[in-house]
Chains A and B, each alone.
Chain A
Amino acid sequence: MDLTRTPEEEDFRARLRTWLARELPTLPPRPDPLDWPARRAYDMDWQHRLHRAGYAGLHWPRDAGGQGATPTQHLIFLEETEAAGAPYVGAGFVGLLHAGPTIAAEGTPEQRARWLPPILRGDQVWCQGFSEPDAGSDLASLRTRAVRDGDHYVVTGSKIWTSHAEVADWCELLVRTDPDAPRHRGLTWLALPMDAPGVTVRPLRTLAGSTEFAEVFLDEVRVPVTHRVGDENDGWRVTMVTLSFERGTAFVGEVVACRRTLRLLAQHARKTGRWDDAVLRRRLGRLNAEFTALWRLIQWNVSEAAHGLRNGGTGVPAENGSLFKLRYSHARQELYEVAAAALGPDALDLTQEWTRERLSSLSYTIAAGTSQIQHTILAERVLGLPKGR
């Protein structure tokens, strides 16, 4: 139960702070949120800078080109960069957090050498082609087909909820190679070049009015067999291996940001006089407890992950992530409900940042596994309740 930092951890934090203080003032102005090429350029510029300073792939293993940092150092990195107002991982998200680690864990030496360095340098953007219109929570029912034709797969189908598809170079694609095998056993993981003939991207407009993600249509797209990571029909396992790469740090930056928003909200309420409303005040107080606890839960998960790694494991059990994600996504929605209460009629004004955040927050209990799916995971895998239907 030790929450103090070691001298090494303090030293890491101090060096990072110094670097951030020097680097951040030299950043270009933030791009228009609707200008995707500009966003890509901005995000990749930040990744270039991290790479030059030795912070790229901080939590990746050294043999994959990463820094081999401890989970605690990674936590400090995310905490400090968010606190300093540094850019988010943005367009680098899939490459750095999922596709890259998958290739690092399951790829051949040639595949690692080809795809990992450009991800770390910020030269190439990856997107994710897992979900389909008819395969959401039930991902293993996906139907996009890949048929072997010589040294190529011919891929036909459609993917949905693909972030950064318009500006991505590569897509990590989950396809069905054996339609006769049991659902989880007929899938294969492929790296799809987004400029291949037959790939069509159609942006999807969210309820917030922006185009945060897209539908990707695949019409007889030819993908070389050498782009397959892992064995044919072993794609489900390959994909899940990476999910355990998560070290409990997935939402660190967001929780730091939420705690800052909460303080701003309290100050705003004080200024406008809404602070005198005891109901609003108590909701703010409860949220403070909520995010304080969520921060401690992150530290708990990171400690577990660090222990696991020291003993040859990969990271935190996915169930810990489910528990955190469940509580966090509801807390974040409540945060913007309270923000609306603090704003009063201004909550109807779309130029208010908190109004826009309130809209975005509606996706938290849906994206990356709905709250209902997380409940089921916890009930079956942690509590050991018999499988339902």
Chain B
Amino acid sequence: MELIQLDPYRWEVPQDHERGMRVPARIYADDRLMAAIRNDQSLVQVVNGATLPGIVGASLAMPDMHFGYGLPIGGVVAMDPDTGVISPGGTGYDINCGVRLLRSNLVEQDVRPRLKTLVEELFRRIPTGVGSRGKLKLSPADERAVTLRGARWAVQQGYGSEADLACIEAGGCLEGADPDKVSSKAFERGRSQVGTLGSGNHFLEVQIVDEVFDEHIANVFGLFAGQIAVLIHTGSRGFGHQVCTDYLVVMERCMERYGIQLPDRQLACAPFRSPEGQDYLAAMRCAANFAFANRQCITAWARQVFEQVLGMGPRDLGLALVYDVAHNIVKIEEHLVNGTRRQLVVHRKGATRAFPPGHPEVPPQYRAVGQPTLIPGDMGRASYVLAGTQRAMEETFGSTCHGAGRALSRHAAKRLAKGHAIQRELEDRGIIVRYTGRATLMEEIPEAYKDVTDVVNVVHAAGISRKVARLRPIGVIKG
């Protein structure tokens, strides 16, 4: 495969008709990250993305890219709605997996003396782990309401406030969700999982703003050096997994009828305007809303725990939502393509929306500086807050990276972790960790991930987002 380096941070696989590519593939990486990327099959997956009918511009991959299903993790593809397709494999199983950041009025010394109790209480109150079941007992009618109203449902139930909704991508609720397009299996799988963190790489972290890179933007986001913050990373749980599973089957059955041929079955898709495509879109939106509600409920419990453990009122704590952003989702967005405004079907799979200053979908209080973009790292190192840029809008359909990206397989991580007292080693570094599954903890050791700093430095240098602040964890709860 021909891979051309365009500049220190941009690479291109030119359009190759023999491979069925309809557009080129473009990858954001520096030399070091590219060396790692070449080791797995993810380059082939970006190229496969370029074969999807109706793709516009280029098949894109962010520097945290690694092997995924269908598209690589870190992939972005945008389709023309009239000639293009929609693909469940272009979104992923964990629909609206995403991140939200809460800021506070606290600094480290307010929390450090009570940190252990705080982390233990967070762990007790927020269900974590494999198959974790929530405290919410939802009726089938409640669960339908969750899928229609998303975070708005949670706020109506008393979990948070209207102010929270204003700081969530799409206001915490995607319009056009239709629960009738979701299988009873998905509802059954999700029923006890609203308000659960789950397992794997999902977490809730108590963090400190470690370094501010852009004082002005940080100020607009309400962030300052030394500040305590809370980062929550989870998605739509079993509900979303089942929606993706169900629609992969639907797509596989109809592709032949629509005359779509693809190099990878996992990319199974249907024309956007087809009944199957529209049904998936409506079901995917239900799962996205499920995830927004999930993160909203967890937020409310985290606030309660802070209030109780620190003996402070909500006003003194100031645990306000900075932003909540999805990194596995399909959105209908307006973009400028060769000087023409067009509606596009943007698939982000392990990529984060990063809209620029002035964009109408950026909340008014942030509009002058761009959308807050949250990039979680591993539990031992750091996470980042970035801001969206005009360059992202022009080059990547307003998208940037989503995290560190795995460097080691789960097997390899476990082998490396064997014999290590991970929890104690982290505690020696001032990071309190509570977890449900030891296997998960071993798979999630910091060494299993690329350094998120390397990834963020590429998107910053390439100009598709701006570094605003780095946060480091001091308390972690995991599945």
A and B assemble together: no
